[in-house]
Amino acid sequence: MAETPWLPHNEAEPTVQLVLPDGSENTDTQWDHYRNLVKDVDAATWRTWYRDMALMRRFDEEATALQRTGELALFTQARGQEAAQIGSVHATRAQDWIFPAYREHGVLQVRGVPLKEELHLFRGVDHGGWDTEKHHVHLNTLVISAHTLHATGYAMGIQRDGLVATGDPDTDAAVMVYFGDGATSEGDTSEALNFAAVNQAPVVFFCQNNQWAISVPGTRQYRGPLVRRGAGFGVPCVRVDGNDVLAVHAVTREAMERARNGGGPTFIEAVTFRQGAHTTSDDPTRYRGTDEEQYWSQRDPVERVVARLRAMGAWDERFHTEVTHEADEFAAELRTYVRSLGRPASSAMFDHVYATPHAINQTERDWFAGFERDLADGEGGH
Amino acid sequence: MAETPWLPHNEAEPTVQLVLPDGSENTDTQWDHYRNLVKDVDAATWRTWYRDMALMRRFDEEATALQRTGELALFTQARGQEAAQIGSVHATRAQDWIFPAYREHGVLQVRGVPLKEELHLFRGVDHGGWDTEKHHVHLNTLVISAHTLHATGYAMGIQRDGLVATGDPDTDAAVMVYFGDGATSEGDTSEALNFAAVNQAPVVFFCQNNQWAISVPGTRQYRGPLVRRGAGFGVPCVRVDGNDVLAVHAVTREAMERARNGGGPTFIEAVTFRQGAHTTSDDPTRYRGTDEEQYWSQRDPVERVVARLRAMGAWDERFHTEVTHEADEFAAELRTYVRSLGRPASSAMFDHVYATPHAINQTERDWFAGFERDLADGEGGH
Amino acid sequence: MAEQRIPLAKAINAALEAALSADPKVLLMGEDIGPLGGVFRVTADLATKFGEDRVVDTPLAESGIVGTAIGLALRGYRPVCEIQFDGFIFPAFDQITTQLAKLHARSRGRLTVPVVIRVPYGGGIGAVEHHSESPEALFAHTAGLRVVSPANPADAFVMLQEAIACPDPVLFFEPKGQYWAKGDVDLSAGPYATGQSVATQFDTLNTAKVVREGTDVTLIGYGPTVVTALKVAQSAAAEGTSIEVIDLRAISPIDFPTLIESVQKTGRCVVVHEAPVFFGAGAEIAARLTQECFYHLEAPVARVGGFHTPYPPAKIEHDYLPGLERVMDAIDSVLAY
Amino acid sequence: MAEQRIPLAKAINAALEAALSADPKVLLMGEDIGPLGGVFRVTADLATKFGEDRVVDTPLAESGIVGTAIGLALRGYRPVCEIQFDGFIFPAFDQITTQLAKLHARSRGRLTVPVVIRVPYGGGIGAVEHHSESPEALFAHTAGLRVVSPANPADAFVMLQEAIACPDPVLFFEPKGQYWAKGDVDLSAGPYATGQSVATQFDTLNTAKVVREGTDVTLIGYGPTVVTALKVAQSAAAEGTSIEVIDLRAISPIDFPTLIESVQKTGRCVVVHEAPVFFGAGAEIAARLTQECFYHLEAPVARVGGFHTPYPPAKIEHDYLPGLERVMDAIDSVLAY
Ligand SMILES: Cc1ncc(C[n+]2csc(CCOP(=O)(O)OP(=O)(O)O)c2C)c(N)n1
Ligand SMILES: Cc1ncc(C[n+]2csc(CCOP(=O)(O)OP(=O)(O)O)c2C)c(N)n1
Ligand SMILES: [Mg+2]
Ligand SMILES: [Mg+2]
């Protein structure tokens, strides 16, 4: 504790952990329950996870580079949160639904959302807009925590549709909503927990406590342990080492199962760290020290998977090269795509404001079309 | 439990109780701590409490009657909540500050706010407006839970003023904020708990869980026990039999002391019952049964005090008559005052909209004055 | 089915019942709307008829109500939320303004969020603070929302059905002071009552209605002020002034073609609403009408409404509200030009 | 003290510093305003200078920020809240509209709530959704609030000091696109810098300013559009049109006498703001100016502003914003009458 003053209320609270930072198994018997839940996780699964986490990290690097070269206006970096995202999203099934925040690149990727489409927002060509129905991933919003209520309402809809506790594992569905430690302070998150609890809605609240909300540390954000927030609303909760992909997977799997089976919501606090800046506009040196960054880099989630694979004898350079190669190709395609993304037509701003004709919208659209025409004709020029 | 299905999650949760419904002492040793806290409560104090509770009840009856005869537009009935209010407010000291909701007639009364002034709101002559500084009681608001944040901010101010943990019991001050079970669902209440916790502000959150938010019972409002809400935010919490004035006093005294001494906020759930309607416009027969009302009338807080006084040998008919007489006079004065409350000048609506001159406000005030003059002169008549 | 003479509150109840019956995806959400039937009894008996899963008493949290309604709408439901009183809509302001209004556009048309938010609004009923306000302008400024207000039972019955059937989010402001005013209602009208499950026309959400023809002055009101306007027109007629009364119905959009046609005929216009004049709907109407009818206007468009003050205590609310005298005064002033 | 040429953001920082230095009751509250100095560095170094008890990083909750600020103001403090971006003010809408605006009136003048809410607003900086909006009209409609916006560093410096010194709550909208635009600032002006601890005059919160005189058209802007207006005036001058440019500064109240005087002289008027035109400030200005200058106006008051659409993605925001061409076009249109 003494050497990690920036870690708010962390050490004392029980935290599920199955793999130690050095890749060896955590043999603490208090986590037997969770260990048993993921006995089926074999080397192939570990390799899949490694690949997903490596791609996620590469995406982060590539998007950051694209921002640096002016191709993107902004990017929200997720480096360090790979285990939290990949471990949890792999606990979702095709019929489940995800409500992400703005940093869930790994989640989107695993659900099949083309990440290049996520970058539309950061290139300023649209406000997002991937195919939500296809991937069962809803649009994110930059308004912190507003989506926690949408997720809860959506889960109430699934409940009403009779798709909970049917007994058929391919039918039963649940919702997972991602948000940060800062988001827990907004009234909406509390209201969402309460609505979910009262309705016993099938929704899992997955909080990535990455220690920071921009420049504000946990010590100024809440009086923890944050994980207990759920219990205050009658929502079961669990805290997990968010950099341990196996532990994250175990707790999320259990929570999603419970939700699908009619057991109601769960609140998960995944303790992790945002290794990068809040966004490419941010400068963490203004508010945090390198000691903290070092502490967490020793607990890097990707390295832990590599170590685990090594320990299992499932790591080899060929595999590593394969994944690196795939990541290179992925990054190259991303670059090409982003650079090719042109300016949308200005008239697009008038589209889809309403689903049915609205006179003010139509009048302005028409006026603008005429104005653009005149400008093009040189009449409006001064 | 089986016979009281309307009581949400009640029975299992530890609830501080020092006096049983029949007026005898609760000898359960688990509450020794609280019992010791109020060892100083003697017969004289009990008689004061009885008087306050009797007056509060009489006020309720009188204001209800005034509404029935058309002298008030509305009234918020508090019958049944006498112990919760009188027990808690007596734990405040002159230097403390109160932020009431709209049903805290007993609290106002003990703090010296002329209750007739509270009725201005319900007669429609102003929006409240007693002297907040004189009684250290802030204005209430009808916007549920908005004031929980004001109370927290106010407590942060007291903290900044250096009036917490000075060691001088006549200096150290704290804030008490009253709200209902329904109010806990609003995001603002959660944000207030969080701000209070993070700042360790000297504020006590006093929730009167009177089982109903208008027609909505606890079972649809939260998944309890509600008392744990505090803990979810890192705020110590305690549940008390809200119809046991001594127990209420004990827990509130402790919480206020802690706040004044720099120990931060407390969340108190006082389990009580709104015996009357939500307001005089409400009709509880539409949503609750007489079995429930009977259950609670057997636990009436005023009767419990009488029983206690009897058990202590401190009840006599002379005292009873005295208090009844005082209540009669109080009621008579109230009636006279309310009936005499005239219509304010219409121009009053333009007053105090701003503290400094605002042109739109002034222009409209002037226009209105002219318009009224013209009307009076018969020019505006049609 | 034929006409019935029923109060506005009952017409809304009937519209809700028609929608609940016709479409299993319709559900009602709000505080005290279930067993109690709402504080105005607008949802009376609906919980009994359709069950508490479709007429849902929610926790006391307006942001939560609208926010979860958005989620339900994304899932294919058509939630109709009740906000208990005008003054209590503000905790939901963020969800309405940043989320509900924008989801269709953000998804580039892929998603719709057919949420209706019913708001009893307006004053004159002797209520306490926060129970008599008219916040409609605060929603009309935001693109993506529709804002409407019926003035009579017949319109209320059809407009609410159209609002529920409409894929756009709709703020539905109900003039609570008129809840008990009766009118003839054709209970077979409207998308749900006629059994069209998918409506394609939303006439009443888009159009104003000339409710009394006249030639000298156009008097525009909506919701609670239409009754006032009609009374003024009647008494003015006695004095020889012919007033055309328009019930706006829709505040976003505003049916300017109908207004323009009238003002080009009369050359004079008064707008009346209970909301404060400053930054109120009358400003938008006056500004645009002046733009469109500049050479037809004999006088500037006059606005009558609430003052730039908090809604006053009940004893003096009738001097805050735009009553007959003040509207008459404005009529006189535009005629005096 | 003399003049210094500094950017608007720095002028605001200096005003905050002056207030913090002069009055121990002043404190700043907001997200990331402490060690980080705010996402725009407007509060840079203030936490170091005055301590984290006076420059407070709050939890991430706008309602909480404004709500606790109200409590602190009731206790005698003068909280200056920062809302990180325009689009994130809505969670605080209830506290601002139902509480902050009304407490002085509800207490019949006994209480004042001198809370300032600073809001970086407006677009043109290539930002993502919710980071470029102009919601000022949504506050001006509510009585009890003052709404102002400076257009240049000198005004920003004095206006913010007056806002903090003013006993009324003030919504202080800062044109973030102008944060780095420099101007000469008299660092000895304003109630705190001059050492008057109690200001009694709040001129800049009440008055518009003629920033360029002209005779043919009155062009009214505020905040980010004043620069545009001045550019238009300059290029129009080259074409022989004399434009009088007015910087509104105050949106509630609006200084109509100044506007009227100008329009009675020019006979023509254009209002320009970034907020959507529909139900925007231009509507109120046009409606009232037409009322007051009916016989002076040669043309209807024209309004130029954002469209009735969500704020668009950055790549096309310059076609949403009222740029030179569109303002010119409006000037031409009023001149064509
Ligand atoms: C309602 C709202 N207020 C403020 C912001 C500005 N903002 C963007 S991200 C952020 C911090 C979020 O922190 P956290 O919830 O921990 O998520 P993280 O960014 O760490 O993933 C803030 C304050 C916002 N986007 N929305
Ligand atoms: C923001 C807001 N929403 C709705 C209402 C309408 N309303 C008034 S009292 C009430 C129930 C309050 O219940 P609770 O908090 O339990 O307090 P109680 O009335 O039981 O004392 C409701 C819904 C309101 N006043 N404010
Ligand atoms: Mg975070
Ligand atoms: Mg209650």
Task: Convert the pLDDT of each residue in B204-224 to its tens digit.
Answer: 999 999 999 999 999 999 998
Domain assignment present for A230: yes
Q: Quick one: A205 and A314 in the same domain? A: yes
Q: What is the ipTM of this complex?
A: 0.98
Torsion B306-B308-B314-B316 (CA) sign? positive
Domain assignment present for A80: yes
Torsion C69-C72-C74-C78 (CA) sign? negative
DSSP one-letter code for D160: H
**Structural domains in chain D, sorted by start:** 3-205 (3.40.50.970), 208-335 (3.40.50.920)
Question: In a mutational test of the pocket of ligand 1, which residue from A144, A147, A209, A221 has the highest number of ligand atoms less than 8 Å from its CB?
Answer: A144
Please work out whether the CB of residue C88 comes within 6 Å of at least one atom of ligand 2. yes
Q: Which of A139, A191, A357 faces C67 most closely, judged by CB atoms? A: A191
- Which three-class secondary structure state does DSSP give residue D185? strand
Contacts with B318 (C-beta within 8 Å, 6 or more apart), sequence order? none
pLDDT exceeds cutoff 60 at B382 = no
pLDDT for the residue numbered B9: 46
pLDDT exceeds cutoff 60 at C189 = yes
Range A54-67 average pLDDT: 98
Ligand 1 atom at minimal distance to the Cα of residue D90: 1
Q: Quick one: A116 and A47 in the same domain? A: yes
Provide Rg for chain A, Cα atoms: 22
- Nearest listed ligand to the Cα of residue C127: 2
Q: What is the pLDDT of residues A329-365, one digit of tens each?
A: 999 999 999 999 999 999 999 999 999 999 999 999 9
Q: How many CB atoms neighbour CB A201 within 10 A? A: 27
Q: Quick one: A371 and A250 in the same domain? A: no
pLDDT exceeds cutoff 50 at A253 = yes
Q: Which two tokens stand for residue A66?
A: 């694209």
Torsion B288-B289-B294-B299 (CA) sign? negative
**Maximum C-alpha span of chain B:** 80
Q: Which two tokens stand for residue A211?
A: 């220690």
Nearest-CA distance D84 → chain A (Å): 11
Q: Which chains touch A (3 or more CB pairs under 8 A)?
A: B, C, D
CA distance to A152, A153, A171, D33, per residue, from A96 (Å): 13, 14, 9, 39
Domain assignment present for A111: yes
Q: Quick one: A224 and A352 in the same domain? A: no
pLDDT exceeds cutoff 80 at A9 = no
Domain assignment present for B137: yes
Please work out whether the CB of residue B180 comes within 6 Å of at least one atom of ligand 2. yes
**Residue A10 confidence class, pLDDT cut points 50, 70, 90:** low
Task: Mutate one of C307, C328, C333, C335 to test the B interface: name it (highest B CB count within 10 A).
Answer: C307
- Nearest listed ligand to the Cα of residue B178: 2
pLDDT for the residue numbered C66: 98
Q: What is the pLDDT of residues A320-332, one digit of tens each?
A: 999 999 999 999 9
Range C118-131 average pLDDT: 97
Cα–Cα distance, B26 to A22 (Å, whole number) = 57
pLDDT for the residue numbered D201: 81
Interchain contact, D59 vs A222, CB within 8 Å: yes
Task: Mutate one of A175, A358, A364, A365 to test the C interface: name it (highest C CB count within 10 A).
Answer: A358
Q: What is the pLDDT of residues A220-231, one digit of tens each?
A: 999 989 999 999
Q: Which of C68, C109, C253 faces A195 most closely, judged by CB atoms? A: C68
Cα–Cα distance, C264 to D84 (Å, whole number) = 47
**Residue A381 confidence class, pLDDT cut points 50, 70, 90:** very low
For chain A, give the mean pLDDT.
Answer: 95
- Ramachandran area for residue B43 (φ above 0: left; ψ -120 to 50: alpha; else beta): alpha
Is residue A274 annotated as a catalytic residue, yes or no?
Answer: yes
DSSP one-letter code for B344: P
* Element housing A32 (H / E): helix A32-37
Question: In a mutational test of the pocket of ligand 1, which residue from D29, D31, D176 has the highest number of ligand atoms less than 8 Å from its CB?
Answer: D31
Domain assignment present for B170: yes
Q: Is B223 on the interface with A (CB under 8 A)?
A: yes
Interchain contact, D68 vs B152, CB within 8 Å: yes
**Maximum C-alpha span of chain A:** 79
C313 CA distance to ligand 4 middle (Å): 25
pLDDT for the residue numbered A12: 77
B183 CB neighbours in chain C (<8 A) are: 60
Please work out whether the CB of residue B213 comes within 6 Å of at least one atom of ligand 2. yes
Please work out whether the CB of residue B143 comes within 6 Å of at least one atom of ligand 2. yes
pLDDT for the residue numbered A2: 39
pLDDT exceeds cutoff 60 at C273 = yes
Task: Mutate one of B188, B349, B365, B379 to test the C interface: name it (highest C CB count within 10 A).
Answer: B349
D58 CB neighbours in chain A (<8 A) are: 220
Ligand 2 atom at minimal distance to the Cα of residue B184: 15
Please work out whether the CB of residue B105 comes within 6 Å of at least one atom of ligand 2. no
A353 CB neighbours in chain C (<8 A) are: 104-105, 143-144
Task: Mutate one of C141, C256, C274, C291 to test the D interface: name it (highest D CB count within 10 A).
Answer: C141
> Are the C-beta atoms of A87 and A97 separated by less than 8 Å?
no
Q: Quick one: B61 and B149 in the same domain? A: yes
Q: Quick one: B355 and B335 in the same domain? A: no
In chain B the first and final C-alpha atoms are separated, in Å, by 67
pLDDT exceeds cutoff 60 at B5 = no
In chain A the first and final C-alpha atoms are separated, in Å, by 67
Please work out whether the CB of residue B212 comes within 6 Å of at least one atom of ligand 2. yes
Please work out whether the CB of residue A144 comes within 6 Å of at least one atom of ligand 1. yes
Task: Please list all protein residues whose beta carbon sits less than 5 angstroms from ligand 4, which is an ion.
Answer: B 180-181, 210, 213
For chain D, give the mean pLDDT.
Answer: 97
D187 CA distance to ligand 2 middle (Å): 50
Interchain contact, C302 vs D291, CB within 8 Å: yes
Q: What is the pLDDT of residues C101-110, one digit of tens each?
A: 999 999 999 9
pLDDT exceeds cutoff 80 at C183 = yes
Question: In a mutational test of the pocket of ligand 2, which residue from B186, B214, B273 has the highest number of ligand atoms less than 8 Å from its CB?
Answer: B214
Q: What is the set of active-site residues of B?
A: 274, 278, 287
Weakest mean pLDDT among B132-146, C53-67, D1-15, D247-261: D1-15
pLDDT exceeds cutoff 60 at B381 = no
Cα–Cα distance, B62 to B77 (Å, whole number) = 10
Provide Rg for chain B, Cα atoms: 22
Q: Quick one: B288 and B356 in the same domain? A: no
Please work out whether the CB of residue A147 comes within 6 Å of at least one atom of ligand 1. no
**What ranges in chain B are assigned the alpha helix state H?**
32-37, 43-68, 82-89, 105-110, 115-123, 132-135, 146-160, 187-199, 218-221, 228-232, 245-260, 290-297, 301-312, 317-340, 359-376
pLDDT for the residue numbered A1: 34
Q: What is the pLDDT of residues A122-136, one digit of tens each?
A: 999 999 889 999 999
CA distance to A381, B366, C277, D226, D252, per residue, from D284 (Å): 30, 19, 9, 18, 11
Q: Is B197 on the interface with A (CB under 8 A)?
A: yes
Q: Please give the residue of chain B at the shortest CA–CA distance from D54.
A: B160
Question: DSSP secondary structure string, C12-76?
Answer: HHHHHHHHHHH-TTEEEEESS-STT--TTSTTTTHHHHH-TTTEEE--S-HHHHHHHHHHHHHTT
**Residue A39 confidence class, pLDDT cut points 50, 70, 90:** very high
Provide Rg for chain C, Cα atoms: 19
Cα–Cα distance, D314 to D335 (Å, whole number) = 32
Contacts with D24 (C-beta within 8 Å, 6 or more apart), sequence order? none
Domain assignment present for A19: no
Q: Quick one: A257 and A305 in the same domain? A: yes
Provide Rg for chain D, Cα atoms: 19
Q: Please give the residue of chain A at the shortest CA–CA distance from B186.
A: A191
Q: What is the set of active-site residues of C?
A: 131
- Domains of chain B: total: 2
Q: Quick one: A273 and A322 in the same domain? A: yes
C64 CB neighbours in chain A (<8 A) are: 149, 188, 191-192, 194-195
**Residue B1 confidence class, pLDDT cut points 50, 70, 90:** very low
**Residue C200 confidence class, pLDDT cut points 50, 70, 90:** confident
- Which three-class secondary structure state does DSSP give residue A267? strand
CA distance to D112, D246, D247, per residue, from D207 (Å): 22, 10, 9
**Residue C199 confidence class, pLDDT cut points 50, 70, 90:** low
Q: Which two tokens stand for residue D216?
A: 């043919």
Q: Quick one: B203 and B321 in the same domain? A: yes
Instruction: Please choose, from the candidates C289, C299, C286, C293, the residue with its C-alpha nearest in 3D space to the C-alpha of residue C331.
Output: C299
Quote the domain boundaries for residue A158: 29-340
Q: Which of B74, B182, B371 faces C329 most closely, judged by CB atoms? A: B371
CATH code of B264's domain: 3.40.50.970
D98 CB neighbours in chain B (<8 A) are: 141, 143, 146
Ligand 2 atom at minimal distance to the Cα of residue B279: 19
**Residue B12 confidence class, pLDDT cut points 50, 70, 90:** confident
Domain assignment present for A12: no
Instruction: Please choose, from the candidates C171, C278, C281, C140, the residue with its C-alpha nearest in 3D space to the C-alpha of residue C220.
Output: C281
Following CA atoms A353, A357, A361, A367 in sequence, which dihedral angle do they give, to the nearest 10 degrees?
130
Contacts with C269 (C-beta within 8 Å, 6 or more apart), sequence order? C217, C218, C219, C220, C259, C262, C263, C286, C289, C297, C301, C302, C334
Q: Quick one: A368 and A321 in the same domain? A: no
A187 CA distance to ligand 1 middle (Å): 13
**Residue B2 confidence class, pLDDT cut points 50, 70, 90:** very low
Please work out whether the CB of residue D88 comes within 6 Å of at least one atom of ligand 1. yes
Weakest mean pLDDT among A262-276, C283-297, D188-202: D188-202
Please work out whether the CB of residue C312 comes within 6 Å of at least one atom of ligand 2. no
Q: Which chains touch D (3 or more CB pairs under 8 A)?
A: A, B, C
Ligand 1 atom at minimal distance to the Cα of residue A184: 15
* Element housing C220 (H / E): strand C217-221
> Are the C-beta atoms of C321 and C277 separated by less than 8 Å?
no
Q: Quick one: B241 and B292 in the same domain? A: yes
Q: Which two tokens stand for residue A268?
A: 């998960």
Q: What is the pLDDT of residues B295-315, one digit of tens each?
A: 999 999 999 999 999 999 999
Range A63-70 average pLDDT: 97
Domain assignment present for A381: no
